[in-house]
Amino acid sequence: MNLQAMKRAAVPLHAEVAEVLRHQIMSGDLPAGAKLPALRELTEQLGVARMTVVQAMNTLEDEGLIEKHSGKGTFVKAVKVPARHTMQMKADISQIYEMVDQMEVSVTQNDAVIEKSADGRYFRAMSRIHARLGKPFCQVDIKLDDQVFDLAPDRFAKEIVVSVLRDLGVSVHKARQKVTISYADFAMAQALGIKVNSAVFRVLREFLDADGRLIYSATLSYPGDLLELEMEFSTEEV
């Protein structure tokens, strides 16, 4: 990965590195106590000079976001993460299916890795890119119950998971979805062909069975300039 090719104009490279890490800390993606990669590792990952990373780390340390421990590494400090105000709305699961049907995208196939959850269940983890008109449109990180995956492994590997679940008649007792505004880190910027720290819509989606167990979860990230959310509310006249 080469951050040089993805930086924003007129923004110093060390400030770009610091801003990405700052977003991750203030959003809670990097929790208190998390250890940051070693200086050499960050330098190699980002394709930037050692001094660039040093300057970024010094900035974050001055802001009280990280602390360095000699011989142990650099760790995230406990900071107050700004609270989000949640607007809760009720909808029918059919609206998710309709939304997916409207998205004419192609799916980049990748290998599904088996992961074991804390409760001993197995899931297939998949990371993929949805493309629209030949251009990256969405980055998706998926977890799917392994037994469900085995119902149609070829389809799940190549198609939008929500559509396959519906076609197979998989019973979904509860579904929830949360949309937040986030920012593209280095890997996401490269995958979606956007600038580092560009605004992105992050959609967290979960389907649960009748016992409240997870069937499917996905984190979908859309470039902020490629998606808009439109809601239509039904009304009752008295």
Q: What is the reported pTM?
A: 0.77
Report, in angstroms and rounded to the nearest whole number, the Rg of the chain calculated over CA atoms. Answer: 20
Distance CA 185, CA 198 (A): 8
User: Is 81 a member of any domain?
Assistant: no
**pLDDT in the model for residue 104:** 77
Measured CA to CA in angstroms, residue 106 lies from 132, 139, 193, 237 at distances of: 7, 12, 16, 43
**pLDDT in the model for residue 210:** 94
Claim to verify: residue 112 and residue 183 sit in the same structural domain = yes
Claim to verify: residue 71 and residue 108 sit in the same structural domain = no
At which of 33, 50, 76 does a domain end?
76
Residue 210 structural domain: 93-223
Claim to verify: residue 72 and residue 138 sit in the same structural domain = no
Split into its structural domains, the chain has a count of 2
User: Is 99 a member of any domain?
Assistant: yes
Claim to verify: residue 127 and residue 158 sit in the same structural domain = yes
Claim to verify: residue 45 and residue 106 sit in the same structural domain = no
Claim to verify: residue 105 and residue 46 sit in the same structural domain = no
C-alpha angle 220/225/231, rounded to 5°? 70
How do the pLDDT tens digits run along the chain, 238 residues long?
Answer: 555 555 555 678 888 889 888 888 888 888 899 999 888 888 887 778 899 999 999 999 999 999 998 888 999 998 887 777 778 888 888 888 888 887 778 887 677 899 999 889 999 999 999 998 888 999 999 999 999 999 999 999 888 999 999 999 999 999 999 998 888 887 888 889 888 888 899 999 999 999 999 999 999 999 998 888 888 887 876 5
CATH number, domain containing residue 138: 3.40.1410.10
Claim to verify: residue 107 and residue 214 sit in the same structural domain = yes
